[in-house]
Amino acid sequence: MTSAQAALVAATRRLRAAGIEDPARDARVLLAHAMGLAPGRLTLVLPEPLAPAAEADFQAAITRRETRQPVSQIIGTRAFYGRDFRVTPDVLDPRPETETLIELALQKPFVRVLDLGTGSGCILLSLLAERAESTGVGCDISAEALKVAAQNAHALGLAGRADFRLSNWYEDLPGAGRFDLIVSNPPYIAATEMAALAPEVGQWEPAMALTPGGDGLDAYRRICAGAAEFLQPGGWMIVEIGAKQGADVLALMQTAGFTRCAVAKDMDDRDRVVLGQRP
């Protein structure tokens, strides 16, 4: 019977040959998942034989990773702001840089939140989890994405405070009322930039959540233009952006009448979030 250590070494070689950026890390995560262990406990069991069922699951996972499918999709979850979120090919993989938006939003007063293009629900649900008195609406154009978001809300015990709706931005939100905070991580990759994306992104994440086509700014134009109907006076809008879009999105927000507008940087010192307040 193959030991866990031998299986890990062989899998690491396979992933390295497939061009995976960090083959050892990914192989360890996938092996721990196949064995039903927390990754931190894997070292303790590496000398032991790998059970046939776990070996079969591990080999299948490595084969999927060789096709550049993201690890999060293979194991089904991704950690974000201290919580695990279910992910599938129908939603964007939550990323650490998006936590910049969460940190800024938590500095603002809010009770009702609107999350435009909610995807997995990671932004809305993180905010609701951090503010016990808050409720929110998450909308998305993808019915499949909304199923994932609803599953995450249930898993986190937030189903009673999160309302998910099928809507193309603001178009199908009748009776939603006004919100203290609007947040969004919309599609913002320009059409000309799509070909340069890593396979894990370009081939495995939903294109509609990555790019609106054209110059990548169409979602911001619609979000800024429609905000006044749904945002309370004094409320804040906070959106994630691409690293080179700060000036353009800032101008769109200012043109829409927002004040106290600013561009904030992420942990890597790149422009990541634009925020503004409705007068």
Q: What is the signed CA dihedral for 144, 145, 147, 151, rounded to 10 degrees? A: 150
Whole-number Cα distances in Å, 255 to 169, 224, 276:
19, 9, 11
Is the domain of 147 the same as that of 228? yes
Examine the fold and report which residue of 32, 52, 67 is the final residue of a domain before the chain moves on: 67
Joined together, the tokens standing for residue 38 give 């927390």
Asked if residue 140 belongs to a domain, the reply is: yes
Task: State yes or no: pLDDT of 193 exceeds 80.
Answer: yes
Q: What is the 3-state secondary structure (H, E, C) of 210-269?
A: HCCCCCCCHHHHHHHHHHHHCEEEEEEEEEECCCCCHHHHHHHHHHCCCEEEEEEECCCC
- Regarding whether 253 and 131 lie in a shared domain, the answer is yes
In a domain? residue 76: no
Q: Residue count of the chain, please give it.
A: 279
- pLDDT tens digits, residue range 212-250? 999 999 999 999 999 999 999 999 999 999 999 999 999
Is residue 78 one of the residues assigned to a domain?
Answer: no
Q: How many domains does the chain have?
A: 2
Query: Which among 94, 141, 138 is positioned nearest to 112, based on CA atoms?
Result: 138
Q: How many helices (H) and strands (E) does the chain have?
A: 12, 9
Do 272 and 180 share a structural domain? Answer: yes
Q: Taking residues 117-134, report their average pLDDT.
A: 98
Evaluate whether residue 150 is within a structural domain.
yes
Per-residue pLDDT reduced to its tens digit, 154-185: 999 999 999 999 999 999 998 889 999 999 99
CB 7 within 8 A of CB 34: no
Does residue 100 sit in the same domain as residue 62?
no
What range does the domain containing 136 cover?
91-277
Q: 153 and 238, same structural domain?
A: yes
Gap between the Cα atoms of 56 and 60, Å rounded: 6
Same structural domain, 165 and 228: yes
Q: What is the pLDDT of residue 178?
A: 96
Same-domain pairing of 267 and 217: yes
Residue 85 forms part of a structural domain: no
CATH number for the domain harbouring residue 255: 3.40.50.150
Q: Are 162 and 205 in the same domain? A: yes
Start-to-end Cα distance in the chain: 68
